[in-house]
Amino acid sequence: MSVDVVVVGVGYVGLPLAEAVAAAGLSVVGYDTSPRVAAAVAAGRSHVPDVPASRLRSMRAGGFTVTTDPEVLGDAKTIVVCVPTGLDSAGGPDLAAVRAAAATVAEQLTPGTLVVIESTSFPGTTDEIVRPILEKYGLTAGKDFSLAYSPERVDPGNRRFGIRNTPKVISGQTPACAKSCAEFYERFVDTVVVARGTREAEMAKLLENTYRYVNIALVNEIAIFCDRIGVDVWDVLHCAATKPFGFTPFVPGPGVGGHCIPVDPKYLLDKAEREGALLGVVHAARLVDDQMPEHVVQRVTRLLAEQGKPLRGAKVLLLGVAYKANVPDTRESAAIRIAVRLRALGADLSYHDPVAVTVPELGPPVADLDEVLRTADVAVLLVAHRAYDHGRLASTARLLFDVTGQVPGKEVVRL
Is a pLDDT exceeding 80 seen at residue 1? no
Is a pLDDT exceeding 90 seen at residue 70? yes
Least confident of 7-21, 36-50, 312-326, 340-354: 36-50
Nearest to residue 156, comparing CAs of 40, 261, 66, 237?
261
Q: What is the CATH number of domain 211-414?
A: 3.40.50.720
Distance of CA 246 to the CA centre of its chain: 27
How many angstroms separate the CA atoms of 304 and 232, rounded? 20
How many angstroms separate the CA atoms of 106 and 109, rounded? 5
How many angstroms separate the CA atoms of 289 and 379, rounded? 23
N-terminal to C-terminal alpha carbon distance within the chain: 58
Is a pLDDT exceeding 90 seen at residue 177? yes
Is a pLDDT exceeding 90 seen at residue 156? no
Which residues, 6 or more positions from 58, have their beta carbon under 8 angstroms from its beta carbon? Answer: none
pLDDT band with cut points at 50, 70 and 90 for residue 299? very high
| pLDDT (0 to 100) of residue 136 | 97
| 277 residue type, one letter | A
| pLDDT (0 to 100) of residue 270 | 94
| pLDDT (0 to 100) of residue 409 | 80
| pLDDT (0 to 100) of residue 259 | 83
| pLDDT (0 to 100) of residue 91 | 85
The predicted-structure confidence for 239-293, as pLDDT tens digits, reads as follows 999 999 999 999 999 999 988 898 999 999 999 999 999 999 999 999 999 999 9
Q: What's the CATH class of domain 3-196?
A: alpha beta
pLDDT band with cut points at 50, 70 and 90 for residue 357? confident
Q: Are 134 and 106 in contact (CB under 8 A)?
A: yes
| pLDDT (0 to 100) of residue 338 | 97
Is a pLDDT exceeding 90 seen at residue 144? yes
The predicted-structure confidence for 376-386, as pLDDT tens digits, reads as follows 999 999 999 99
pLDDT band with cut points at 50, 70 and 90 for residue 347? very high
pLDDT band with cut points at 50, 70 and 90 for residue 358? confident
Distance of CA 285 to the CA centre of its chain: 18
Catalytic residues: 260
Start-end of CATH 3.40.50.720 domains in the chain? 3-196, 211-414
Mean pLDDT of 62-69: 96
pLDDT band with cut points at 50, 70 and 90 for residue 41? very high
